[in-house]
Chains A and B, each alone.
Chain A
Amino acid sequence: GAVVSQHPSRVICKSGTSVKIECRSLDFQATTMFWYRQFPKQSLMLMATSNEGSKATYEQGVEKDKFLINHASLTLSTLTVTSAHPEDSSFYICSVRRRDYEQYFGPGTRLTVT
Chain B
Amino acid sequence: GQNIDQPTEMTATEGAIVQINCTYQTSGFNGLFWYQQHAGEAPTFLSYNVLDGLEEKGRFSSFLSRSKGYSYLLLKELQMKDSASYLCAPLDSNYQLIWGAGTKLIIKP
Partners in one complex: yes
- Using a CB–CB cutoff of 8 Å, the interface residues on chain A facing chain B are 41-46, 91, 93, 100-108, 110
A101-B30, A101-B31 as given contacts; A43 in contact with B45, CB under 8 Å: no
A43-B100, A43-B102, A44-B87 as given contacts; A107 in contact with B31, CB under 8 Å: no
CB <8 Å contact, A101 and B100: no
A44-B87, A46-B96 as given contacts; A102 in contact with B45, CB under 8 Å: yes
CB <8 Å contact, B33 and A102: yes
What is the CB-to-nearest-CB distance from A27 to chain B, in angstroms, rounded to a whole number? 13
Report the bound CA distance from A95 to B57 in whole Å: 23
Report the bound CA distance from A106 to B43 in whole Å: 8
Nearest-CB residue, chain A, relative to B97: A103
Report the bound CA distance from A107 to B96 in whole Å: 20
What is the CB-to-nearest-CB distance from A66 to chain B, in angstroms, rounded to a whole number? 22
Interfacial chain A residues near B91, Cβ < 8 Å: 101
Nearest-CB residue, chain A, relative to B101: A43
A101-B91, A102-B48 as given contacts; A44 in contact with B33, CB under 8 Å: no
Interfacial chain B residues near A93, Cβ < 8 Å: 42-43
CB <8 Å contact, B43 and A105: yes
Interfacial chain A residues near B40, Cβ < 8 Å: 91, 108, 110
Interfacial chain B residues near A103, Cβ < 8 Å: 33, 45, 97
A102-B48, A104-B45, A105-B42 as given contacts; A42 in contact with B101, CB under 8 Å: yes
A101-B30, A101-B31, A102-B33 as given contacts; A44 in contact with B99, CB under 8 Å: yes
